[in-house]
Structure formats: structure tokens, C-alpha cells
A and B are shown apart, each in its own frame.
Chain A
Amino acid sequence: MGGPTDVAVVNAALWHRFSKDRFGISGLLIIVIFAILSLCVWFGILGQGWAQTSGSYWASASMEHWFGTNRLGQDILDRTLVGAATALEVGFSVTLFSILLGVVLGAISGWRSHSWLDEIILWAMGVLDSIPFYLFAAALAFAMRGQYFAMHLAMILTFWTTTARIIRAEVMRLKQREFVEAARAIGLPGMTIVFRHILPNTVHILLVQATIIFVVAIKTEVILSFLGLGVSNGVSWGLMLAESSQEVLTGHFGNFLAASLSLFALLMGFNLLTDALQDAFDNRGKIV
């Protein structure tokens, strides 16, 4: 019911709620730090010597090599930084394209629910969800003859389904609301209504979904690279972990620690962000 009390509830600023959440802020901070480091790598400021072999193998941490060196004498710090850049690049591109694909197909499916178009899209989602992911990735890598983007493609082509399902449900729910009927009553075309009126009301869901997919993409890349299906020419944490699986047996933990701790930190940051975002968006029963 409308009234003075409800206005106070609704008006509480999103940012204000979010900013009170210490965990959320620290999560955001971690991500920002990694993002800055990655940008430095991309612009050639940091981590450029990741492929350079030096004479000292498995050197422990020193002034010259802050994290020590690996089996080939490559600087672990540099490799870690470039790994971060890789992780973020994979995460970002996979998230962006899978969300786009998911939104478009989910919106069409939801607006035209129970039509043949909807059935086809649902069928496609069912099929893609049934294929074991790593087999799919392997098959794609093989078919694309080891191209770098095979990994991205495999992820995008399978990750869009969760977003699509969520968006489909939201569109189906919202299209019954009077504001959509008002738009239909003046004769606006369906897709205009969907993109102008319905989808903006799903932004909060998409934001949370994006952070979740980001995490899954990074983790998937790590596993794919570990399996040799991912990054081959560059360096990523997955590759580092793959390398370290042998090294650890001989007592050299440098690679392992650098990769896994960085991975842990970044993913933790994202998880904290996701939780904080969800809390900030869910204002039911909470009055600021």
C-alpha cells in the first residue's frame, strides 16, 4: 500500500546500503586492485618479463624475483601478474557475451512464451545443459585447432543458458503487469516493450548473475588450462598450477602458492561482492 512509511523504505539508496557492508567494500577493493594490476600488464607496465628465462631455477624469493622463479627460471611474480590479466580478460569477455546472448534469447523466449520459438530456445537450452562441459570444450578446442578463443566460445555457448532461464522467467512475470499492458494498449511492438520497459527491471538480477558467471569463468579457465585445453601460448594461473603439480613433489611451492593464493583472493573478492550486491538489492522488510 502506498503511504509515508513505504516511501521511506523504497527511497533508501542502493549505494548507501551497499557502502555499509564492510565485506562488500573489501570485495570490491580486491577486485579493483586486480583490475588495476591487469591494466598495467596490458599497457606493458608490469609483468613483461614473464617468458624470460634466467639462470636461477627454483630460486627462492629475493629482491630481484619477489616470488622466486620456476623450473625454467621465469619470474613467478611476472607470471602471476599476467595470469591475473588473463583471468580477468577471460572472465570479462565470457561474462559479457554469455549475458548478452542469455538476455536476448531469454527475452524472446519469455515474451513469446509457449510459442514454437520458445520451445526451440528451451530445447536448445536443454541440449546444451546436457552436454558434459569439458567434453564440449575439448571437442571445440580440437575442432578449432587449438585456437585461443575456443575456450571462450565453449564457455559462452554453455553459460548463456542460466541467464536465459532467469530472464525468461522474469519477462514472463513482468509481462502481465499493467505497465506492460499500457504499452501494448498504445500499440508498441513487442520487442520495444521488452527492451524499453521490461529488461531495465532485471538489471539487479543481471548484475548479480554477472558476478557469479565471472567467478565460474575464471575457475573454468583454470581447470581447462590445467587440462591443457585452455591457454597454451600465454600464461595463466591454471597453467601455473599445472606446472606446479610436479614441482610440489620436489618441495618447490613457489608456483603453487602464487597461483592458488591469487586465485583464492580474486574469487573471494567476487563472492563478497555478489553477496553484498544481493543484500543491497533485496530491501524487503528492511527499513533504512
Chain B
Amino acid sequence: MPKPSTPLPATPLLDVRNLSVSFGRARQIAVDNVSFCLSKKETLGLVGSSGAGKSSVARSIAGLETPESGEILYNGIHKVNMTRLQLMETRQKVQIIFQEPSASLSPKRNIKQILLEPMVHFAIGDLLSRARTISRVLNTVGLDTDILHRYPHQFSTGQQQRIAIARALVCEPELLIADEAVSALDVSVQAQILQLLKDLQQQKGIALLFVSHDLGVIRQMADRVAVMYQGQILEQADADIFFSQPAHPYSRALLNIAKGGQDQTLPQKLIRLGHGRSQLEPTDGCLYAGNCPDKMPLCESKSPKNYNIGNYNLGNNTCEQRVRCHLYDEAINNETIGNETIGNDE
């Protein structure tokens, strides 16, 4: 049964507005004017190819990168306006799980030290309660307490990722960012970790920002999906709508490939030297225009805005889909339709 998309509560847990991130002396654009919301107990899937900017978005929210512009609001409060205490609280409530489990655990620290560190830093509990929390959390992730004296390299990747999740859980997070957290895992281990994340969401009401390039995983985990391409979000929709009726040509191409179709055009266009965009060379027009099969002349010169595509009725629920594509600009569509078919008055 598809998750109902109730109207967003007054203050979503996470509210990202016009986030832009660039880095390096050449001012490479990693994230370009990205906006989305995330509520409690909800999973937003952030998809796209590598270099699309998904990780930069995740890391900016986690506080690892400073955005160039835009606002990140947590529980309604702009991060920049937070007091030191509030900022520390936010750091505690927002936890991130990384892609490489072996690299995300400090090699010369044992598991006990790794799990205690955030608790000590955030002053969670006291000596006794911390020990209890650690055993409770290890139990939740499916590990024994006798692992505490061991070191990360003594565990398999699956176990290491569980330890990383345990480290996040000791902080009692409200938002968990999974940055390609299962991409480096074998499929059977991946299934276990995904199930664990789902259980955690059910039991604790944790919101999940799930970054992945694997659409199959996203299908199983996400309530809503946002597609990124070269730093921009091209489409945001409820998961069911996205997977059945993708709006943006890029989304359609991605799904086509993921479902095993034979899209001939997309792969060929990749054979190009060079890297991403730079602020120093501004581009007009839609970023995807170069590869788009439905390209119109307008697409090369004018950058599309976000257009809301109706409210589909899926059973008893109304859903939302937002796409950044000229094809859905009503004004243009009316014109085109008028030109082509029914013969409206121009």
C-alpha cells in the first residue's frame, strides 16, 4: 500500500532551501539551487549518477561541507541562526552513515571507544547508563557485546556497517543520512542492512535521507524520490508515481536502463572528455539538453523552472510530482498543442 502523502506539517524536520555548494579554486558546482523537505518517519531517496551532487547534499546537511548559499532548516530553525547549544544538538540528532564501512571506523580505536566517543562528546547519560545504552544498541543492530574490545579490521564489511549504524544510534538521532551506505556491500548483506534501517524507522520514527544510485534499493526504501543531475534536482515525486510515471526525460532514461531496457542513446553520449560545471563558465539552458531525446529549441537557451504536475489520485491518496523541464511548462504546452492539433485560437 503506497504511503499516503499527507500535506506537509507546518515545520518539517528538515527543510532545505536553495542549497548551493561549490568547491575548489575553479568553483566547481556540486549542488545548484536544491530544495526539498523531509518529515519524521519518512524516507527520501536521492538518486542520480556519480558526480550528480547527491553526496554533497548529504554532507552539507551533516555539516561536513559549508554551503555557498541557501538555507538548511532543522526543526524550523535556520542552521546559521542556531546557538552553539542548538547546533550541538542538531549534530547529535543528524547522523550520517558512509559508503565504505571499513574506512568509516577509526582503525586504532576499539569498538567500545568508537561507541563511547559520541556519547561522551554530547554528554549523553552517565557511566552506568552509557554501558546500558551500548549493549542495547548493539542488540538492536544484531551484534554481541563481546565485540567491544575488538578493532574494526577484525570484522566483515556487514558487521562494520552495523557498528557504524550503532555509533549513529547511541546519539538517539532523528534524521539518519545514508550516503550510499549499502553500495559497497554484498547483496545478501545489503538486504540485512536495509531491513535493519527499515526496522529502525518503524520503531523509532527516524527520518531517512537515502542517497543511492541503485534504483532497486530506492524502490524498496523510499517514500519519495528526488533525482539529481549535475547538481540540480530534476524531478521530485512520490515513489509510486516516480517508478510508474516518471516525468523528466532523464528519469525515464534512468528507469529504462535500470529495468533492463535497451536505451541506445544515453550510454553513447557519455563519451566526452572533461568534468563537471564550473561557476566560472555559466551555462544557460537546461543541463540535460545535450542528451535529451525530447529536446526543444528553447531548452538550450533557457533554464527550466520547477513545474508542479497535478495531483494524481492514487487510490484514496493525492500525490505530488515536481519536475524541472520545459515540457511541462503549461504556457509552452498550450502553445504547442495549439500549433499542432486541436486548432485553438492563437
Contact = CB atoms under 8 A, between A and B. Distances in A.
Q: Give yes or no for direct A-B contact (beta carbon below 8 Å).
A: yes
Interface of A: 1-3, 7, 10-11, 177-179, 181-188, 196-197, 200-201, 203
A182 B108 contact: no
A187 to B, nearest CB: 5
Contacts of A186: 91-92, 117-118, 121-122, 171
Interface hub of B100, B121, B154, B160 (most chain A Cβ within 10 A)? B121
B157 A178 contact: no
Contacts of B160: 2
A215 B170 CA distance: 48
Contacts of B117: 183, 186, 188
Contact of B105 (A3, A179, A185): A179
A182 B154 contact: no
B96 A185 contact: yes
10 tightest A-B CB contacts, nearest first: A178-B104, A200-B108, A2-B157, A178-B98, A178-B103, A179-B106, A187-B91, A197-B106, A185-B62, A2-B156
A203 B106 CA distance: 14
Given A187-B87, A188-B121, 12 more contacts: A2-B102, A2-B157, A2-B160, A179-B106, A181-B64, A182-B167, A184-B63, A184-B64, A186-B117, A186-B118, A186-B171, A200-B108
Given A2-B102, A187-B63, A179 B91 contact: no
B100 A178 contact: yes
B107 A179 contact: yes
A200 B96 CA distance: 24
A200 B64 CA distance: 23
Contacts of B105: 179, 182
B302 interface: no
A1 B160 CA distance: 12
Contacts of A183: 106, 117
Nearest to B108: A200
Nearest to A4: B156
B104 A187 contact: no
B88 interface: yes
A177 B91 contact: no
B23 to A, nearest CB: 13
- Main DSSP-derived SS at the A contact region: helix
- Main DSSP-derived SS at the B contact region: helix
Contact of A197 (B88, B109, B167): B109
B266 to A, nearest CB: 30
A185 B104 contact: no
A4 B91 CA distance: 36
Nearest to A179: B106
A264 B118 CA distance: 52
B204 interface: no
A284 to B, nearest CB: 14
Classify chain B: how many residues form its interface, as a range: 20 to 34
Given A10-B153, A11-B154, A187-B88, A182 B121 contact: no
B98 A182 contact: yes
Given A11-B154, A179-B103, A200-B108, A187 B121 contact: yes
Nearest to B118: A186
Nearest to A181: B64
Interface in B123-162: 153-154, 156-157, 160
A7 B160 CA distance: 13
Contact of A185 (B64, B103, B106): B64
Nearest to B109: A197
Nearest to A176: B103
B169 to A, nearest CB: 13
Nearest to A6: B153
Interface string B67-94: 0000000000000000000011001100
Nearest to A189: B121
A243 to B, nearest CB: 49
A11 B95 CA distance: 31
Contacts of A1: 157
A101 B170 CA distance: 37
B293 to A, nearest CB: 38
Contacts of A203: 108
Contact of A177 (B103, B154, B156, B167): B103
Contacts of A177: 103
Contacts of B118: 186
Nearest to B157: A2
Contacts of B99: 178
Interface string B157-182: 10010001001000100000000000
Nearest to B189: A2
Contacts of A184: 63-64
A91 B88 CA distance: 46
A179 B62 CA distance: 14
A2 B160 CA distance: 10
A133 B102 CA distance: 44
Given A182-B167, A187-B63, A187-B91, A3 B98 contact: no
Nearest to A2: B157
5 contacts: A2-B156, A181-B59, A181-B104, A182-B106, A185-B62
Contacts of A178: 98-100, 103-104
A125 B126 CA distance: 46
Nearest to B101: A2
Given A178-B100, A186-B92, A187-B121, A201 B108 contact: yes
